[in-house]
Amino acid sequence: MKFTNRKGTLRIYDGTGTPFYLELDFDNGDFTGPLGVPKTEEILVMHRGTFDADAHYIEGSDEKVMEPADVSFSATVEDTTITTYLLDWLEGSTVNSNTIVTTKEDTQRANSVASPAFADSGKKTFNIEYILDGTADVCWHYNEVYVELADASVEESEEGVNISFTGKHYGTITRDTANTAGTDVTD
């Protein structure tokens, strides 16, 4: 049996010890994200452009590894507090009387060194967890995602109003079979 977007769920998490999470009721089943972080480039070293027994590869710059990757998703605007909570979360403020803690500097993408803080201390990241629920669940954890609201867009149609988000993923990507335990921020 194959997975379809009907079996998916999207949650966002903060960096609290027991993290707060917000599960999107009406995400549109259009999450996009990479399956892994980039690797360093392999650079061939030769003597004066000649390939011989001394030719070898060296590892390139970590810049490619540390560049943020794009993630995107969209959600239907609801006439409930869930939309307000989502927007409050992405603005980096308090959600349902709970202070949202950034996840920035929580993971180590390269060389066992924590991802650096932003120069702008007002920017907050969060984690996204995308799970496909079935007989053999698959869950991807995208850590340290920042969404610039200027890059989000609202689109209306007869079927509903949707907000599309594009974020930058700065942390690690892991895969397992379950969401992280946490506290539902809507409670």
Which three-class secondary structure string do you get for 34-53? Answer: CCCCCCCCEEEECECCECCC
Question: Which domain, by its residues, includes 146?
Answer: 5-38+66-184
- Report the SS3 class of residue 147: strand
- Whole-model pTM over 0.95: no
Q: Is residue 169 part of a domain?
A: yes
Residue 44 domain-assigned?
no
Percent of the chain with pLDDT over 70: 98
pLDDT value of residue 136: 87
| Structural domain count of the chain | 1
Predicted confidence at residue 89, as pLDDT, reads 95
Answer whether residue 154 is part of any domain: yes
48 belongs to a structural domain: no
The verdict on residue 101 lying in a domain is yes
**Helix segments in 26-134, DSSP class H:** 63-66, 81-90
Per-residue pLDDT averaged across 153-181, rounded?
Answer: 95
